[in-house]
Amino acid sequence: MSIEFIYPEFEVIRDQSRCIGCRVCQRQCANEVHSYDDDLKILKSDESKCVNCQRCVSMCPTRALKIVKSDCTLRENANWQNNTIKEIYKQANSGGVLLSSMGNPNPLPVYWDRILINASQVTNPPIDPLREPMETRVFLGKKPDKIERGKDGKLKCNLSPQLELSMPVMFSAMSYGSISYNAHESLARAAKELGIFYNTGEGGLHEDFYCYGDNTIVQVASGRFGVHEDYLKAGKGIEIKMGQGAKPGIGGHLPGTKIVGDVSRTRMIPEGSDAISPAPHHDIYSIEDLRQLVFSLKEATEYKKPVIVKVAAVHNIAAIASGIARSGADIIAIDGFRGGTGAAPTRIRDNVGIPIELALASVDQRLRDEGIRNNVSLVVGGSIRSASDVVKAIALGADACYIATAAVLAMGCHLCRTCQSGKCNWGIATQRPDLVKRLNPEIGSKRLVNLMNAWRHEIKELMGGMGINSIEALKGNRLMLRGVGLNDRELKILGISHAGE
Amino acid sequence: MQLEGQVRIPSGCAIAAAISRDGKTMTGEKIMNAMKPMHDRSNGLGGGFAAYGIYPEYRDLYAFHFFFKDRASRKDCEVFLKEYFEIVKSEIIPTRKIPEITDEPIIWRYFVAPLKSMVSSAQVDENEFVARMVMRVNIEVSGAYLFSSGKNMGTFKAVGFPEDVGRFYRLDEYEGYSWTAHGRYPTNTPGWWGGAHPFTLLDYSIVHNGEISSYDANRRFIEMFGYKCTLQTDTEVITYIMDYLIRRQGLTMNEASSVIAAPFWSTIENKTDTEDKEKHIYLRTMFPNLLVTGPFSIVFGFRGGLMALNDRLKLRSMVVGEHDDMVYIASEEAAIRVMDNNVKNIWAPSGGEPVIVKVREGVNI
């Protein structure tokens, strides 16, 4: 070996006494870790190619395999940790920007885990969701300032278009291209069955999925890939993507190798050409430009679709949100710094942006202080991991949550964080037909429905415990939250008291 | 220890109300007696009454009832008031010294008319002007608490059992066509008279029994519209919600009930009357943040009427009875029977079903 050598991160442990030589592992691994030695009649592994996606482990019929972290490490150093040093080696080898996938894995504070939820005792009763109705339906969109009455004195419906969700969770944007046809189909079918929405991301909408339009949000991002009139009209809402939590200030790059067949057609770009989304929208350099795009899209769709503006949670997010709330947008989606991605520069992913909990708390409070909270609904994403995260987000002031990492996990993702390779063994972040077919949309959608139903039950249990029987009464109800182990400044920003207060 | 307003204090309660649909007046004695059989629903830490029709000679003036910490705060407050109002009459509210009620603050009332020039420069109507001034006085004038601000009505409250509070304020000497009463069971010692109920704003008063679970969702929403929840009580926030929906948005009382105690979506979907169905869908979509959950039974008093309402699951007891022109509402039937032993048609309204009683048209109230 040489100066360029970096010891593999994982070891493949094969229990030879269990291995029956069926070679499933070999067939299943797109990274070509496993090989068969015809002479010795045994399976061998090249662990340098292993990404620890657990595909072989899951498929091995005799549980003969496990992947463990290699214990061959550099000398311990609290400042120059193993990863830090290896990244330097990689960059010294290649001269390139480091790429990563999925959300920030570093041990930065997770505020959800420092927030606790209330329950009723004595002075008011908890409500049993098995015995009493418990409502999770929400409507997203602008609410008018005043009611109106017709000449007959009856109330007139003066609401602008709203998105109706059976529960306050939606699948957030993942483009066709970054994820597979089957992954998109799974999301679309699940959204329809659940009465929620999935989001096309910026790759356009495959013609086969127009039938799920009533449960689709179509995205318009800086590359404008796949955007045309029918596309805008196909969904129930339109999302302008200004930024993404995993890579604020950065555009996107889907390599030409993934722009094949239907992906090319759906994106409306030639096969094999790189799909590069610029960092800014080149028609939006300022807030007043955003307003023009919002209304251009509304004009194009005859004011029948609510417009979402999605931004990454950055330092000045409260002021930015206040500007968006006055831009004509109906919904603001904020993506926190732990949000996932198919590929992002590692330094950006790990160092840019702020936690969604703090961004949400300050935006909700700012919009209320300015009396414009009713102008928009707030949707938050960027690592919503469970039903309790949803409940905490709603109580901090969100109208609904976006989930993507949790959704791909439900479809089989094992969070190996190598989506950028395009060799997803679970058939999600890949366009290789042999890999794509591993994800059965029937099963994928069923698992997504299961996950959401499970969360819905849990949300109801948590609400019932607090004596709340409708999600509206939880929204912004910060008295139901207490912080634990947080300092005064953090509590002030979150607008909650400390446990025991 | 923190005072009411600095901390949120949940409490249980007793409520009662009586109204004559003919607008006939009665003294406060009847409603004071109604609170006696419900003695154990209070714990002596708060009682109060709202009475409508008690100041007919000043019916066009706002009657401001104040608690003052000391003489200096009263003087400060009068300076403040004189900038915006003409004070037509200023007097101490007469009380009776009884051993059960102690540590009273200075209790004062003013009959005032807002200065026309001030109202027009604020570019709002007279009621909105007065409502804003009520918020301002309570935030800006230290040691002063304005707890009653309607016309031809007044609130009387104190730390003590309600029946004692009534005697203290000599309510047997007042005559009104509509009365509400409240006995409080707070879960700690507020020690402050302002924390007792009813809570009022302009002509609206609320007595409430319950602990709502939607409190902070409601509070943080309503505070966007200039209301300031200084007491952190359910009663206060519900009063502001009713004021916002009825006076500022122009909803009817029935519509407002459908906002705060909205029917379940499943109930709405099963409605066969399309117009009614659409109305409810609209109201829940338009005002989701004003849905009130958790147990409550309230009596909402207004000029010329009362409205009783329970939370949509009916988690608190409340019964209604009628006899000729009289309508009675109380937490317990016993309280109604004390007011009128020959009461007829006693029933328990179901959750979310408002009972609205109005004095007949044509009666001068």
Residue of A nearest to B288 (CA): A472
Spacing of C-alpha A295 from chain mean position: 27
Within 10 Å of residue A72's Cβ, how many Cβ atoms? 9
Contact state of B213 with A466 under an 8 Å Cβ cutoff: yes
* CA–CA separation, A90 and A84 (whole Å): 10
| Mean pLDDT, residues B317-343 | 95
From the CA of A244, how many Å to the nearest CA of chain B?
A: 29
A34 and A166 fall within a common domain: no
A237 and A333 fall within a common domain:
yes
pLDDT single digits (tens) B44-63: 888 999 999 999 999 999 99
- CB proximity A146 to B under 8 Å: yes
Residue that is last in its domain, among A63, A96, A129: A96
Q: Do A123 and B288 count as a contact with CB atoms less than 8 A apart?
A: no
Chain B residues inside the 8 Å CB shell of A144? 286
B9 vs A407, more confident: A407
**Number of domains forming the structure of chain A:** 2
In CATH, what number is assigned to the domain containing residue A200?
3.20.20.70
Phi, psi of A331 (to 5 degrees): -140, 140
Residues A337 and A411 in one domain: yes
For tokens 């026309």, what's the residue? B116
B292 to chain A: which residues are within 8 Å by CB?
473
The half-sphere exposure of B160 on its side-chain side, counting CA atoms within 13 A, is 20
> Among all residues of chain B, which has the CA nearest to that of A134?
B264
The H or E element containing residue B222 is: helix B215-222
Residue bearing tokens 């930024």: A243
Collapsing DSSP to helix, strand or coil, B211 comes out as coil
Residue A69 and residue A162 in one domain? no
pLDDT digits (tens, 9 = 90+) for A263-299: 999 999 999 999 999 999 999 999 999 999 999 999 9
Is A123 within the bounds of a domain?
no
Task: Domains for chain B: give ranges and CATH numbers.
Answer: 11-208+291-358 (3.60.20.10)
pLDDT of residue B136: 94
Q: Does some domain include residue A483?
A: no
Based on the fold, state whether residues A302 and A381 are members of the same structural domain: yes
Cross-strand partners of B271 = none
Q: What stretches of A326-404 show up as alpha helix (H) in DSSP?
A: 346-351, 356-369, 387-396
Residue A302 has what pLDDT?
97
Strands (E), B144-177: 144-148, 153-158, 175-176
Nearest-CB residue to A470 (from B221, B249, B291):
B291
Decide if pLDDT at B4 tops 80: no
Of A323, A268, A315, which Cα lies nearest the Cα of A294? A323
A370: nearest CA in chain B? B224
Confirm whether A477 is domain-assigned: no
Predicted-complex ipTM score: 0.91
CB-based contact (8 Å) between A374 and chain B?
A: yes
| A475:B250 CB<8 A | no
On whether residue A194 sits in a domain, the answer given is: yes
pLDDT, one tens digit per residue, over B278-325 is 999 999 999 999 999 999 999 999 999 999 999 999 999 999 999 999
Q: How far is B233 from chain A (nearest CA, A)?
A: 13
- How remote is the C-alpha of A461 from its chain's centroid? 24
Please give the C-alpha separations between residue A234 and each of A164, A197, B201, in angstroms, as whole numbers.
Answer: 16, 13, 50
Tokens coding B341: 């032993």
Quick: pLDDT tens for B63-95: 999 999 999 999 999 999 999 999 999 999 999
Partner-chain contact A123 B10, CB within 8 Å: yes
Q: What is the CATH number of the domain that holds A72?
A: 3.30.70.20
Residues from chain A contacting residue B255 (CB–CB below 8 Å): 155
Task: Report pLDDT for B89.
Answer: 96
Domain membership flag for residue A486? no
In a domain, A345, yes or no: yes
Q: Which residue has the tokens 């309508």?
A: B327
* Position B188 confidence tier, pLDDT thresholds 50, 70, 90: low
B185: its two tokens = 């069971």
Catalytic (active site) residue B229: no
Note whether A85 and A234 are same-domain residues: no
Q: Are the beta carbons of A155 and B221 separated by less than 8 Å? A: no
Residue A48 lies in a domain: yes
* Widest distance between CA atoms in chain A: 91
Beta-strand ranges (E) seen in B171-325 are: 175-176, 178-186, 199-201, 204-210, 296-302, 305-310, 319-323
Q: Do B313 and A466 touch (CB under 8 A)?
A: no
Q: Phi and psi for B284 in degrees, rounded to 5?
A: -70, -30
Searching chain B, which residue's CA lies closest to the CA of residue A132? B313
Contact B294, B209 (CB under 8 A): no
Domain boundary among A96, A116, A151: A96
A130 CB neighbour count, 10 Å cutoff: 10
Is A473's CB within 8 Å of B221's CB?
no
What distance in Å separates the CA atoms of residue B255 and residue A194, rounded to the nearest whole number?
31
Residues of A in contact with B282 (CB under 8 A): 155, 157, 159
Q: Give yes or no: residues A80 and A192 share one domain.
A: no
Tokens of B161: 């059992």
Q: Domain range holding A175? A: 138-472
pLDDT in tens, A321-370: 999 999 999 999 999 999 999 999 999 999 999 999 999 999 999 999 99
Task: Assess A161–B contact: CB distance below 8 Å, yes or no.
Answer: no
Inspect the interface and report whether the beta carbons of B294 and A124 lie closer than 8 Å: yes
Query: How many angstroms separate the CA of residue A477 from the nearest CA in chain B?
Result: 4
Domain-located, residue A490:
no
Phi (first) and psi of residue A43, to 5 degrees: -90, 140
Question: A61 and A177 share a domain?
Answer: no
Band of residue B5 on the pLDDT scale cut at 50, 70, 90? low
Residue B264 predicted with pLDDT over 60: yes
Same domain, A157 and A88: no
Coil vs helix vs strand at A45: strand
Indicate if A154 and A231 belong to the same structural domain.
yes
Given an 8 Å threshold on Cβ–Cβ distance, is A468 in contact with B214?
A: yes
Q: What is the C-alpha separation between B90 and B108, in angstroms, rounded?
A: 8
Q: How many residue pairs from chains A and B have C-beta atoms closer than 8 A? A: 113
pLDDT at residue B190, as a whole number: 59
Total Cβ atoms within 10 A of residue A326: 14
* Among candidate residues B150, B342, B180, the one with its CA nearest the CA of residue B247: B150
Nearest by CB to A125, from B225, B278, B295: name it: B295
Instruction: Calculate how close chain A gets to B279, using CA atoms only, in Å.
Output: 7
Output the average pLDDT for chain B. Answer: 93
Could you tell me which residues come within 8 angstroms of residue A225 by beta carbon, excluding any fewer than 6 positions away? A175, A202, A203, A204, A267, A268, A269, A275, A277
Same domain, A173 and A69: no
- Across the interface, do A127 and B313 touch by the CB < 8 Å criterion? yes
**pLDDT over threshold 80, residue B12:** no
Same domain (yes/no): A169, A62 = no
Interface with B, mutate which of A462, A475, A498 (most B CBs under 10 A): A475
